[in-house]
Amino acid sequence: MVENLDELEEKIKGCNRCKLCKTRQNIVFGVGNKNAKIMFIGEGPGADEDRLGEPFVGKAGKLMDMAFEAVGIKRQEVYIANIVKCRPPANRNPEDDEAAACMDYLRNQVMIVKPKIIVLLGSVALKNIIGKDYGITASRGKVIEKKQITYIPTWHPAALLRDETKKIDFINDLKLVLSVLNKIEKCGFEAYIVGGYVRDYLLGIKSYDID
């Protein structure tokens, strides 16, 4: 494992682990606070991200920034990454082999940043991290615990562009993220790691433990 984000970003320059390397303009590594309490994980770069080398800078990213501002989240205080770091052609979903090729990089990012909460943006992030059997419609807005990491799935910001009614859900899920973070910090590390019903009692939340 690489010990810091700068070294990791340097390590993956020129990556050719999957076929996406043949069509990308830039590797989109990640951006934000290297010690963030909240980490957001999307599916993959779009055209604007591929061109600029930064995640969530297109229309969906601007909408996400507006939602951040509405609930008091500062983009520079969180960390943002994706399942894959190269743009899939025509913005299709990453294929399983592409996601698998990038997953070690993402795990390394999580281990370096050590966020207290990871927000999964959309179905691709949810299925690749929590499990293929999980659907975003049923899972969004829920607190999921896996291997002592707290996850909260929500809509991908691009879904909000297609369906404006999802904006309210997205805002409410971001409020939930802040509420859970506040409770984690108030209860301390012990409440964060005890797990199960004890943790739920201490935090005052309902969460779902999975292996």
191, pLDDT greater than 90:
no
**What mean pLDDT is predicted for residues 124-138?**
96
Strand blocks (E) in 130-188: 143-146, 149-154
pLDDT digits (tens, 9 = 90+) for 60-112: 999 999 999 999 999 999 999 999 999 999 999 999 999 999 999 999 999 99
Question: Residue 139 — very low, low, confident or very high, per pLDDT cuts 50/70/90?
Answer: very high
**pLDDT above 70 coverage of the chain, percent:** 89
Residue 91: closest CA among 156, 14, 153: 156
Question: Residue 113 — very low, low, confident or very high, per pLDDT cuts 50/70/90?
Answer: very high
Question: From CA 57, how far away is CA 62, in angstroms rounded?
Answer: 6
Q: Maximum CA pair distance of the chain?
A: 50
